[in-house]
Chains A and B, each alone.
Chain A
């Protein structure tokens, strides 16, 4: 294990964290929130000093990294960003408990959007901005961001990308890792700016449109009102719903559109499955909740908003879907697990995995009927190799195991089965709100500190797709090489 390189990268990430923390400091300056300004500046100083010291101590010429270094770098980076990002909340006194602040920051970076805040409307502007900004950074990935701005970290950056980018197979758009990272962020920034402008044109002011855009771009879901998006006009709600859906699409497809290969986009199985699932869910829910809202337009809008919010694992709500009939709730629960396309900013299992899993099941049944049949699973018009099939199946098994384990750890909480189970699902898939106690109008504030830490880890596991964190936490990974 090339520990020096891992810690060197760790140090560089500390410096990047300092850079990112400067942005909310500027916001604090604009709104004259001087106490918050100081807390941000102290956090900047701490992370910059630590980052600089570590990266200069661990400077090394041996920049060769392998898969395990990639996993370790990514896991350390996410833990470090969350630990540092929580500081301003505590220092300014707006979230007195560090565990609460840590939970809130992890929830931000992992684009979950689960909150412990009892009253979000009493928060200062700069803190609200920072909360939402973590969504935006975490959505596309902290290390992809680092790759895009730090020149030539290492030739083998693919190991880092693979550990951080969600989905069963990670490919590059262009030959060089750094250019790929830049293109991804460019697409991301352009879409973000477009959404900010569209929202600003509606009934939101600039601050509100920026915050809500960050929340939907990263598919996070931190709002600044206690009723989430419910208080805004239908125009704003529809803009947000459409953009959430767009951010749930594989970014590679946007790149294909840019270089003019529309046919390849139209042939994407994952895209059509994703849109198909969303459309079906919208139809069923519309009919199911028709009796509550009366008009078909209103129910369609709410069904569309909620479906889009849940399938992309964002977690905004236009109404309290906790009060919906159980068919709708069941569908939403299912969508929570499915998630969106691989290579997007969303969480969950990812549609590509779901499709491959279903095909795998069909093939297995066929093999039972015809024991000598030679089978192949096809995805996106290409045969999926055995290794990928295996890793998809194993991922699913581990995914279920992790959910069960997390559920067992929080089962003594007094909020009942529905609340606890949906809380686990909502954090593990990076959605945010669940049902019952943790529904859109509730929050995680009443859980014990122990459960909050468990949920924090469950969010990190879900965002990094389980294995990087497990590998980084196992001692054999850290064996020293000579």
Chain B
């Protein structure tokens, strides 16, 4: 499939890497020759240097034959214009990054319709939503919702001396009777799709699917439950901080935001009167302690510098803050942070690139009957969780799951039927109209039929 990407910054590159890896023909456009040179050296893509809204540049990139057009430059206005022009020139689907709060209110619907956008993405808003979900359920490292929010996929880190240490999954199921499924385990750099004989160890990161009610039950049984964060300290007054603070305040939490830029602080104080805005250097440990780092429920590092976020998060962890989350955008730093003991890391660019990858796969699969409803990458991207709409043409319809011959490293983790979600056993069947959550590692699925041998 042909895809054109305008803007090769952090987010653009991440999307590009994802899409090239999936085997698409990608054309990259950027205004800066040095950026485009580097992209051409590292990825197998065609590079065009120029303004992404210029018809000549777009023609050179062959936009008229593009199935998907993604505009993720710095400027919202350029993204919108580029998508508009590309759509008029024949691009089938367009995605624009629009992140200014003033565009992201009621006017967004109107504009998306006028510009014929397939979807607009706001990485900061999406990151804030994810952070908010984690803060509501602090025991988890990461939470993903499947459609309707009925079924959730939660990643949990097993602490030292966890009561699960040495338990096999069959024993676990016997011991804790709840509707859940352990569907992926990360141990060191290896990721497993476990079967019943798999034995858990301390330090593992496990992925669990269950409905939200059952998750709470399970966490309670495992003694992992933590109350949702009431007092949250946020470092850095960025766009993410703004969206996150707004959500937290609306749900009744207390928020402290620290930033050393006076102008930005003033602006935040104007717009978020309920929050405590501190103007000061967040790298100063004295200041953090003074503002109550010792008593806060959660600490979120959201400055623009990955390194700073990691270092201060380590300090916050050492002060026994129950939940520490850091924003880290660079892959190599994220894996290092993980080694340093910071397990909860949020990266806006990954959230967006997963979203774009899902759209790309859905477009590619538009002929296929079982369309993709959602796609998440788990365990640092090595495992995917996909939600498919089941059509009446699915080959494994009305067959008990134990009789389906699945390819290796594939697991059916959940079935959503109407408003009910169930964790499937061997005797359950997939019916047309269901939505099915599939966990897969090491391969790419385009259609539900692909899970069958």
Contact = CB atoms under 8 A, between A and B. Distances in A.
Given A175-B27, A179-B25, A156 B33 contact: no
A430 interface: no
Contacts of A159: 41
Contacts of B46: 171-175
Given A175-B2, A175-B45, A158 B25 contact: no
B20 A158 contact: no
Interface string B35-48: 00000111111110
Contacts of A176: 25, 44-45
A385 B32 CA distance: 12
A156 B41 contact: yes
A427 to B, nearest CB: 32
Interface string A165-204: 0000001111111110000000000000000000000000
B26 interface: yes
Nearest to A388: B33
Interface residues of A, number: 17
A440 B42 CA distance: 46
Interface centre among A155, A173, A177 (most CB of B within 10 A): A155
A157 interface: yes
A155 B21 CA distance: 9
B43 A174 contact: no
A67 interface: yes
Nearest to B48: A171
Nearest to A173: B46
Contacts of A177: 44
**Which DSSP category, helix, strand, loop or mixed, fits chain B's interface?**
mixed
Which residue, A67, A159, A172, A179, has most C-beta atoms of chain B within 10 A? A172
Contact of B40 (A66, A158, A174, A385): A158
Contacts of A66: 41
A87 B47 CA distance: 42
A156 B47 CA distance: 13
Contacts of B33: 385
B170 to A, nearest CB: 34
Interface string A137-165: 00000000000000000011111000000
B41 A67 contact: yes
Nearest to B21: A155
B253 to A, nearest CB: 45
A166 to B, nearest CB: 18
B26 A175 contact: yes
A411 B27 CA distance: 51
Contact of B41 (A158, A175, A385): A158
Contacts of B2: 175
Interface in B17-31: 20, 25-27
A340 B44 CA distance: 28
A175 B47 CA distance: 8
B44 A155 contact: yes
A171 B43 CA distance: 13
Contacts of B25: 174-176, 179
Nearest to B3: A175
Contacts of B40: 158
A157 B42 CA distance: 9
A66 B26 CA distance: 21
Nearest to A179: B25
Contacts of B20: 155
Nearest to A178: B44
Given A175-B2, A385-B33, A156 B26 contact: no
B302 to A, nearest CB: 32
A171 B37 CA distance: 11
23 contacts: A67-B41, A155-B20, A155-B44, A156-B41, A156-B43, A158-B40, A158-B41, A158-B44, A159-B41, A171-B46, A172-B46, A173-B46, A174-B25, A174-B46, A175-B25, A175-B27, A175-B44, A175-B46, A176-B25, A176-B45, A178-B44, A179-B25, A385-B33
Interface of B: 2, 20, 25-27, 33, 40-47
Interface of A: 66-67, 155-159, 171-179, 385
9 nearest A-B pairs in the assembled complex, by CB-CB distance: A175-B25, A175-B46, A155-B44, A172-B46, A175-B45, A177-B44, A175-B26, A176-B44, A175-B27
Given A158-B44, A173-B46, A175-B2, 19 more contacts: A66-B41, A155-B20, A155-B43, A155-B44, A156-B42, A156-B43, A157-B44, A158-B40, A174-B25, A174-B46, A175-B25, A175-B26, A175-B44, A175-B45, A176-B25, A176-B44, A176-B45, A178-B44, A385-B33
